[in-house]
Chains A and B, each alone.
Chain A
Amino acid sequence: MQTRTLRGLYLAASAALTLAGCAASPPGAPHASYSPDIPWLERLSFGVNSQVLAQYQKLGRSGFLESQLQPTDERLPDPVARELAQLPTAPIDAEHLFVGITLEQRRINALPEGAEKQDARKRLNDQGNQAAYEARRRELLRALYSPAQLKEQMVWFWLNHFSVFEQKGNVRWMLADYSERAIRPHALGHFRDLVMATLRHPAMLQYLDNAQNAVGHINENYARELMELHTLGVDGGYSQHDVQELARVLTGVGVAGPEPPKVRAELRSLYRREGGFEFNPGRHDFGSKVLLGHTLTQAGMAEVAEAVTLLVHQPACARFVSRKLAVYFVGDDPPAGLVERMAQTFQQTDGDIAAVLRTLFTSRELAAQAGRKFKDPMQYVVSALRMAYDTRLIQNTHPVTGWLGALGEPEFGHQTPDGYSLQDTAWSSSGQMSRRFEIARAIGSGSAGLFDPDDGSKAPPAGGFPLLTTPVYYGIVEPTLSMRTHDALQSARSQQEWNLYLLASPDFNYR
């Protein structure tokens, strides 16, 4: 097919964009001063687009890395920024929101059986589903359009590491707040702050049942996962006894109800309440506790913080978190030397996530694995949309959340607390490959309704299929294509089919 003529039609060809290896630079574009390290940028981002290239051009390699490790510019395109500020789930007053849901549930439960009760229940349920959808949409729009691409990947990574499931309890209403308040502020900060922020969030406390954990009514669910999945790893050197002791430490750590509880006068100073979180000393076990061989010395929430500090200072924690990061960015079986250096950085910097990532992104081990990591569904879908539409804003994210569901990686949709697998092999089964191709077809044919309004109404047909033959394609994709993929593209009978083959190709499915 005539790709060269199509290129001229591409409207978003950014004049600021300079591409080494571009066969024919768009008129007026400055000449490439150096060739960007595309595989490296592919892993720093959810997919290289014109914005990433422009930033790289401006800042150079180390400047770009620093701008990603400590982002000062997280500006979203205007319509997206306005929308995110306006969503009803914006974390203005989480406590008010969560308590309001509880009160509404109480009111409904007190209604006599009948149509009114059913209607009220359905309304509340629909509202919950909408809140969950909006939380997913927020994450998607940021992943697609935020210039802080590494941070967006880390937000996904931590939401997965500290996974919560939307269908449990009232978690649906809490998702946006969980991301905004517990995860985002610490995504590139200190690991301990991240653990404490998730520990203090009602979504996690409800999801892992700690809201029910009280003296005399021990529930060890969260205590176990806090060590096994969040900090130490299953081989991290703790015992069943440690699980029980940590469960006692966590008694009284729960979710704020509509009315503050009655607390005995002598304990009142230990009561805490904030944003839907509550520490109720009346439910706490004040007996002495020994965790990992250390006798804890503090009381109340201070004891909880003491226990978390003890956990995150274990060498096992540094190794566990470092290895998981390396699996996500480098490969299924990351080199032990790299993991060791990352763990050293972790310990030397008191768990500074940005510092650990600097060790990772300046390592030769990462470079050696260029182009060998199979994209997980989130990386695949977001990168395909960034490739297809660059910075042109999609309107309707319902098809996108549907694709992530079909590929088995819906946001906030993992039932168990281990989160989604980071291994390549979890996403490349036969069924997943054919589904991925179906999604490539849907994106490539422009038939998915991405530019219809998000409320489900239909827009007048506009745009048709995307033109993937963009400056980004000619500059960074085409020069590296394998012969087989090149042949497949040559054989395409239409632009839509060409798009399908590019997005379905092995070249595009790895990074």
Chain B
Amino acid sequence: MNRRHFLRTGLAAAPALTLAGRLFAAPASSPRFLCVFLRGGYDCANFLIPWSSNFYYDSRPKIAIAKPDPAILDGALALDSDWALAPAARDSLGQLYQQRQALFVPFAGTDDLSRSHFETQDSIELGQPVQGQRDFGSGFLARLATTLTGATPIAFTDSLPLAFKGDAGIASMSMQRVGKSPFDDTQTATLRGMYVGSHLESAVTEGLELQQQMAQAMQEEMQAANRGAITTKGFELTAERMARLMRTQYRLGFVDVGGWDTHVNEGGARGALATNLTSLSVGLATFAQSLGDEWNNTVVFVLSEFGRTFRENGNAGTDHGHGSVYWVLGGRINGGRIAGAQVRVAKDTLFQNRDYPVLNDYRSVLAGIFGGMWGLSPQQLQVIFPGAPPLDLQVI
């Protein structure tokens, strides 16, 4: 994408105040960033398949996904001579890839070696060096939000994720189970009034405001449904509603998706993992479509706390591993390729004879992307990811 285009529209924010005293009304075409966290450690080797590696097929007798074969309609989709995409994502992400709107970064992750879901998720969301004292009140997206001007953040989750923990109150609302009827003006003012001066003041104000917006969105959805539009559910519905809010006032988003901890009966081309991948991929394609032209100003980054053991375990599943495959999507990214440092997939290149190694630190990868999107200086990037040298994968 045109780097200058991103820069020109990104910084010249003309702020306007809302109820919450928050800076809204960034220019319509300013950059947007959505972080999608796959909680549970998704099995990247059955998403981006190293199909040139015999070792892959030897290691996964029960769950390996067959090599791309033109004779199989819903087989894996070859992306290049080494990598193929899971059939579950073929129609959604495969298309984006062919339109150069998707790229994948294998051997990506952190240097956290605990192999604990919760420990590693925390360390990723904090984005601080793994060694040394951590500040649990400072997540990397919160630091990004503070660094930027006019890039209003929102978490599409029930509770505020660690990545957004910081000094500023940040809106947070799950896009499922949205209430239909907001409070009237008097009630809204009274409810807010009780919290004036308390540290929940901004959460209450923002919540009541979001409630109004979502009630309106629900009405529009119902009208569309009455006109015969297909009603969506699950992650696709979340994706539609996220796009609605990010198309208008929000610029930095976070959402998490669970159900990736496939220790048992993971499945291959079909099965538990494939079902999850389909729902996620279709949802993200819907997100792209629902953003309309603004998809061209948007970058989606999909990550997970770790990859899984390269070999399947005794229960046709996989256990906690290390290196993962991250996804970058966007209307004008330099996609259609596999990016970052790579290594041949073989027994002797596994990390601790068990997992993918991490060759592309997520902090460096993200710093490179943020630098490209908003033209941030090295000093600013150091605030967001202290101690991580930006890695420019030429995404923007």
Contacts and interface: CB of A to CB of B under 8 A. Distances in A.
B187 interface: yes
B172 A429 contact: yes
A406 interface: yes
A221 B41 CA distance: 13
B156 to A, nearest CB: 9
Given A437-B191, A487-B193, A504-B191, A430 B119 contact: no
A418 B119 CA distance: 11
A484 B264 contact: no
Contacts of A432: 158-159, 172, 207
Interface stretch (B195-203, B363-371, B375-383): B195-203
How many interface residues does chain A have, given as a range? 35 or more
A185 B211 CA distance: 43
B55 interface: no
A482 B197 CA distance: 12
Contact of B313 (A218, A406, A415, A430): A218
Given A428-B203, A432-B207, A219 B319 contact: yes
B228 interface: no
Interface in A189-239: 209, 212, 214, 216-221, 224, 228-229, 234
A408 interface: yes
B159 A408 contact: yes
Contacts of B208: 433-434, 437
Nearest to B195: A506
B1 interface: no
Contact of A484 (B165, B187, B194, B314): B194
A431 B158 contact: yes
A488 B174 contact: no
Interface in A396-442: 405-408, 415-416, 418, 421, 425-435, 437-438, 441
Given A431-B207, A434-B179, A434-B211, A234 B173 contact: no
B314 A219 contact: yes
A433 B200 contact: yes
Per DSSP, are chain B's interface residues mostly helix, strand or loop, or mixed?
loop
Nearest to A167: B259
A485 B197 CA distance: 12
Contacts of A234: 114, 116, 118-119
Contacts of B206: 430
Contacts of A430: 169, 171-173, 202-207, 210
Nearest to B319: A220
B160 interface: yes
A445 to B, nearest CB: 12
B364 to A, nearest CB: 25
A493 B183 CA distance: 14
A433 B199 CA distance: 13
Contacts of B159: 408, 421, 425-427, 429, 432
A2 interface: no
A505 interface: yes
Contacts of B258: 415-416
Nearest to A421: B159
B146 to A, nearest CB: 18
A155 B279 CA distance: 35
A505 B192 CA distance: 10
Per DSSP, are chain A's interface residues mostly helix, strand or loop, or mixed?
helix
Given A234-B118, A408-B174, A485 B194 contact: yes
Nearest to A215: B314
Contact of A416 (B39, B119, B191, B320): B39
Q: Which of B118, B159, B165 has the most CB of A within 10 A?
A: B159
A474 interface: no
Contacts of B205: 430
A212 B319 CA distance: 13
B67 interface: no
Contacts of B211: 434, 438
Contacts of B198: 506
B347 interface: no
Interface string A469-501: 000000000000010110110010100010011
A240 interface: yes
Contacts of A433: 200, 203-204, 207-208
A431 B171 contact: yes
A171 to B, nearest CB: 13
Contacts of A212: 263-264, 314-315
A438 B115 CA distance: 40
A228 B114 CA distance: 10
A418 B162 CA distance: 15
B314 A214 contact: yes
B108 interface: no
B314 A416 contact: no
Interface of A: 209, 212, 214, 216-221, 224, 228-229, 234, 240, 243, 405-408, 415-416, 418, 421, 425-435, 437-438, 441, 482, 484-485, 487-488, 491, 493, 497, 500-501, 504-506
Given A212-B263, A219-B313, 20 more contacts: A209-B264, A219-B264, A228-B118, A228-B119, A408-B159, A416-B258, A425-B159, A429-B157, A430-B172, A430-B204, A430-B210, A431-B172, A433-B204, A433-B208, A441-B183, A484-B197, A487-B193, A488-B190, A505-B194, A506-B198
25 contacts: A209-B263, A209-B317, A217-B315, A224-B115, A228-B116, A228-B118, A234-B114, A408-B174, A416-B258, A425-B159, A429-B157, A430-B210, A431-B210, A432-B158, A433-B203, A434-B207, A435-B177, A435-B179, A437-B208, A482-B194, A484-B193, A491-B190, A500-B187, A504-B191, A506-B200
Interface of B: 39-40, 114-119, 155, 157-160, 165, 169, 171-174, 177, 179, 183, 186-187, 190-191, 193-198, 200, 202-208, 210-211, 258-259, 261, 263-264, 313-315, 317, 319-320
Enumerate the 6 nearest inter-chain pairs by beta-carbon distance, A residue then B residue, closest first.
A217-B314, A431-B173, A408-B158, A434-B207, A429-B172, A430-B207
